[in-house]
Structure 1
């Protein structure tokens, strides 16, 4: 049987307590935080992040850390959340923390792994996400993975006195085309 959590270059792993201090370093990067979420940017401690993880609703949230296979370094995180079992729909969030690690295909591979998990293990019908219009690199990754635009929340995000659209994107299980070979 293939390992559904391992791709050619990355793996989805159980979060470890020591990971959260490293992740907290990413939260001092305003660009990272402001592209990740529409909430106000603010630094978070490792303790804050670990407490959030420990308080997840395990029946509706599936949270993984993304590690490089070659040396097990922490690259980012990916989560399925707000899982509605009756409708077989979930929201997705993905982040690669270190700017030096972005643009190298790690996010694309982690996305493929979590989508495979969502559709083939959890048997979801659809995965949705929201992305700020200024996050063009993430939008490209999502589109290349099969996500389609489903709507726009016009001018919903305010950054530096400017307003930006928030895009809603979705991918149906029937349209999922695996782009990663599982180990």
Structure 2
């Protein structure tokens, strides 16, 4: 499995020891608006997920990696999802769990590392991300990382009785035809 290392973070494969972190993250109801989660995950289900996390992106169409600081502390997760080798595109999502670990450039570096991986190892033409209208931090992160807001999906996400717009951010691989 790959490991991607930057100046602030390391992206590594998920390990069985990540179960407690994954359980906290997946069951944090503050994140459900973004993830689309509607019910809690059990440790059993997440353990099974971790047992299969090694599967190839060409088979399962996704890749989830741990975002760690250089000391090895697990900070968050970054995902490539809906990998489409025919149309040469893949979605990107990330979360840094603890508020005190955000806005320090680690998310931006993680996005840069995984985008480079998608362009160079997977040879995709584009990487895209969906960002809710009220997520200013994510908009800044993707814009800082060279992504461009190309579309607005009006009233796309319904959460707690209200509808929100969702923006589409895209970054194109300059070396891919």
Same fold by TM (over 0.5)? yes
> Structure 1 53/135 Cα, relative in aligned 2: closer, same or farther at 3 Å?
farther
Deviation string, structure 1 residues 88-147 (Cα, Å, up to 9, x no partner): 111111111122211111111110110110111211110111111111111110111111
Give the gaps of 5 or more residues in structure 1.
176-183
Alignment partner, residue 132 of structure 1 = 132
Alignment partner, residue 31 of structure 1 = 30
CA distance in 1, matches of 2:52, 2:130: 23
Displacement of 1:54 in angstroms is 4.1
Structure 2 counterparts to residues 30-179 of structure 1, below 5 A: 30-34=29-33, 36-40=34-38, 42-55=39-52, 58=56, 59=58, 60-69=61-70, 71-174=71-174
Answer whether contact 1:32 1:97 (CA < 8 A) is retained: no
CA distance in 2, matches of 1:47, 1:147: 37
Pairs aligned (count): 170
Answer whether contact 2:68 2:75 (CA < 8 A) is retained: yes
TM (normalized to structure 2)?
0.86
Displacement of 1:44 in angstroms is 2.5
Deviation string, structure 1 residues 28-79 (Cα, Å, up to 9, x no partner): 4332332x32343x4323432332344566212222111111x200011111
Alignment partner, residue 18 of structure 1 = 17
Does 1 or 2 have the higher relative contact order (CA < 8 Å, sep 6+)? 1
